């Protein structure tokens, strides 16, 4: 039996109000940077409308104004808009004035609620940075905003972010980001820029484990890991007073795609005899070598490269280590690439005061909202279009009901 229109409207309003209620709880501690005199638009109205407009494909303040104006009667059912929907100047003023750290805290509070609801086992948090190139303005002396993000790989959820002015500042930003996250029982992966003894210690002290890429920025450690696996490969007979050959577990897998055949050999050793610098790395329990051999089918040209890692906690199987390493790099195409291609982040030009940093956080809000729809068969760009065309779908995304416009009523 079909629902009566008034019942459908009731459920829709209930779902939006419930979602915005949780959102409002997260935003409650956010200080409004505007003067109270002459204030026409409540902060909740501005931020909530901007989020829904962003989900619906509006990447700039002008688009937010157009969307809100087209949906003004509906929005007025659950948002305080005595003067009509906000204009683009209001969005720019609010997001330019909000403190990025404070707005980031609102996002983390919301993400924590989502992560808690998901009940993800064996959490894997990938840490990586991205530069929003369009936020730079050399003529005004403004460098591009660089954002270091924490990505819950199993859920496609951004858990938090910290903005810096340059990529080189990631070493300072990563510990700040880690201090904002719940790392208990989580495995944290970071590329070579984060392979720092202080970062490893911070992860272990917070109850997590690390798997860190090692390159020539840590020359002694890099050489010692290579020597460990070279000792395993050395066929010579060991003298009675020599250290025995290291223990090594091996996993190999082959993929064929895009005209290439790639074989990955993952070797993991819990033997740290040759890692003389191991005392610097708190909790260090194992080392990993990943050898990738790629062959181009059309030319039969083959190339080989090796990468090295250190890890804490109980040594996983080499299959698990391989999965973590591969999942880490998914942040590139499931977060960074999507922000550029589906949200146009690299071409975004809002630079006034804190606007670039805060709109980056708003994009994370919108993307994480879409990613929680486990029934979604569309790409992110088309899911945004559908949300703009189909209000029931937008409501299901905002309410977190997995694409079901009926919610849990």
- Nearest CA to 150 out of 180, 123, 128, 182 is that of 128
Interatomic CA distance for residues 147 and 158, integer angstroms: 12
For tokens 């993000």, the residue is 149
Share above pLDDT 70 across residues of the chain, in percent, rounded to a whole number: 85
Asked if residue 102 is part of any domain, the answer here is no
The answer on pLDDT for 186 being more than 80 is yes
Asked if residue 122 is part of any domain, the answer here is yes
Same domain for 66 and 87, yes or no, is yes
Yes or no: say if 364 and 107 are a contact pair by the CB < 8 Å rule. Answer: yes
Same domain for 184 and 229, yes or no, is no
Q: Where are the beta strands (DSSP E) in 174-272?
A: 187-190, 209-214, 249-257, 260-269
- Nearest CA to 163 out of 342, 355, 367 is that of 355
- Nearest CA to 158 out of 381, 389, 371 is that of 371
Same domain for 119 and 210, yes or no, is yes
The answer on pLDDT for 168 being more than 90 is no
Could you give the angle at which helices 391-399 and 355-371 cross, rounded to 10 degrees? 100
In this prediction, residue 406 carries a pLDDT of 44
290-318 residue pLDDT tens: 999 999 988 889 999 999 999 999 999 99
Contacts of 190 (CB under 8 A, 6+ apart): 126, 127, 128, 174, 199, 210, 212, 213
Asked if residue 337 is part of any domain, the answer here is no
Interatomic CA distance for residues 398 and 238, integer angstroms: 64
Of residues 144 and 259, the one with the higher pLDDT is 259
Residue 217 vs residues 138, 193, 213: alpha-carbon distances, Å: 30, 8, 10
Same domain for 212 and 229, yes or no, is no
At residue 139 the predicted structure's pLDDT band, cuts being 50, 70 and 90, is: low
Same domain for 116 and 90, yes or no, is no
- Number of structural domains, the chain? 3
In this prediction, residue 166 carries a pLDDT of 66
218-268 residue pLDDT tens: 999 999 999 999 999 998 877 777 888 999 999 999 988 878 899 999 999
Contacts of 157 (CB under 8 A, 6+ apart): 111, 114, 115, 118, 151, 368, 371, 372
Same domain for 313 and 228, yes or no, is yes
Burial classification of residue 97, based on how many CB atoms lie within 10 Å of its CB (0-12 exposed, 13-18 middle, 19 or more buried): middle
Same domain for 227 and 305, yes or no, is yes
In this prediction, residue 408 carries a pLDDT of 37
For tokens 């940077």, the residue is 33
Interatomic CA distance for residues 383 and 390, integer angstroms: 10
Q: Which residues of 231-246 are buried (b: 16+ CB within 10 A; e: fewer)?
A: bbeeeeeeeeeeeeeb
94-129 residue pLDDT tens: 999 999 888 988 888 888 877 777 676 679 999 998
Asked if residue 330 is part of any domain, the answer here is no
Asked if residue 335 is part of any domain, the answer here is no
Same domain for 154 and 166, yes or no, is yes
Same domain for 275 and 225, yes or no, is yes
In this prediction, residue 1 carries a pLDDT of 42
Residue ending a domain, choose from 280, 302, 321 = 321
Residue ending a domain, choose from 290, 305, 321 = 321
Asked if residue 31 is part of any domain, the answer here is yes
Domain carrying residue 160: 112-216
Residues in the chain: 409
Residue ending a domain, choose from 305, 321, 337 = 321
Asked if residue 327 is part of any domain, the answer here is no
The answer on pLDDT for 18 being more than 80 is no
Same domain for 229 and 193, yes or no, is no
For tokens 């189909």, the residue is 390
At residue 374 the predicted structure's pLDDT band, cuts being 50, 70 and 90, is: confident
CATH number of the domain encompassing residue 201: 3.30.420.10
Of residues 144 and 81, the one with the higher pLDDT is 81
Interatomic CA distance for residues 328 and 128, integer angstroms: 9
- pLDDT, mean of residues 192-201: 96
Asked if residue 350 is part of any domain, the answer here is no
Interatomic CA distance for residues 264 and 306, integer angstroms: 10
The answer on pLDDT for 331 being more than 50 is yes
Same domain for 175 and 203, yes or no, is yes
Interatomic CA distance for residues 162 and 145, integer angstroms: 10
Interatomic CA distance for residues 14 and 247, integer angstroms: 59
Same domain for 292 and 210, yes or no, is no
């Amino acid at each position: 039996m079909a629902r009566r229109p008034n019942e459908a409207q009731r459920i829709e309003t209930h779902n939006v109000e419930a979602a915005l209620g949780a959102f409002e709880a997260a935003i409650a501690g956010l200080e409004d940077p505007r003067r109270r005199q002459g204030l026409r638009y409540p902060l909740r109205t501005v931020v909530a409308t901007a989020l829904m407009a962003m989900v619906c494909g509006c990447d700039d303040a002008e688009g937010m104004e157009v969307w809100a104006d087209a949906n003004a009667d509906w929005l007025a059912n659950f948002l305080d808009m005595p003067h009509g929907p906000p204009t683009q100047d209001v969005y720019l003023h609010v997001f330019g004035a909000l403190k990025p750290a404070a707005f980031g805290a609102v996002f983390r509070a919301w993400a924590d609620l989502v992560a808690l609801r998901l009940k993800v086992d064996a959490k894997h948090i990938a840490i990586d940075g991205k530069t929003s190139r369009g936020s730079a303005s050399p003529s005004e002396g403004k460098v591009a905003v660089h954002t270091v993000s924490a990505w819950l790989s199993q859920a496609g959820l951004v858990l938090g972010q910290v903005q810096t002015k340059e990529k080189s500042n990631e070493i300072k930003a990563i510990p700040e980001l880690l201090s904002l996250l719940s790392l208990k029982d989580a495995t944290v992966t970071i590329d070579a820029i984060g392979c720092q003894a202080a970062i490893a210690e911070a992860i272990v002290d917070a109850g997590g484990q690390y798997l860190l890429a090692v390159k020539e920025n840590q020359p002694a450690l890099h050489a010692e890991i290579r020597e460990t696996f070279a000792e395993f490969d050395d066929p010579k007979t060991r003298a009675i007073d020599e250290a025995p050959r290291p223990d090594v577990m091996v996993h190999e897998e082959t993929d064929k795609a895009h005209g290439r055949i790639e074989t990955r050999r993952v070797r993991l050793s819990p033997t740290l005899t040759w890692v003389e610098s191991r005392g610097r790395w708190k909790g260090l329990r194992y080392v990993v070598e990943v050898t990738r051999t790629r062959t181009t089918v059309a030319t039969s040209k083959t190339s080989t490269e090796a990468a090295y890692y250190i890890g804490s906690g109980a040594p996983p199987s080499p299959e698990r280590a391989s999965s973590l390493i591969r999942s880490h790099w998914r942040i590139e195409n499931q977060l960074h690439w999507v922000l550029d291609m589906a949200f146009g982040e690299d071409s975004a030009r809002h630079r006034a005061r804190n606007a670039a940093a805060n709109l980056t956080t708003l994009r994370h809000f919108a993307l994480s909202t879409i990613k929680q729809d486990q029934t979604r068969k569309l790409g992110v760009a088309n899911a945004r279009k559908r949300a703009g065309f189909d209000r029931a779908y937008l409501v299901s995304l905002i309410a977190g009901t997995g694409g079901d416009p009926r919610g849990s009523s």
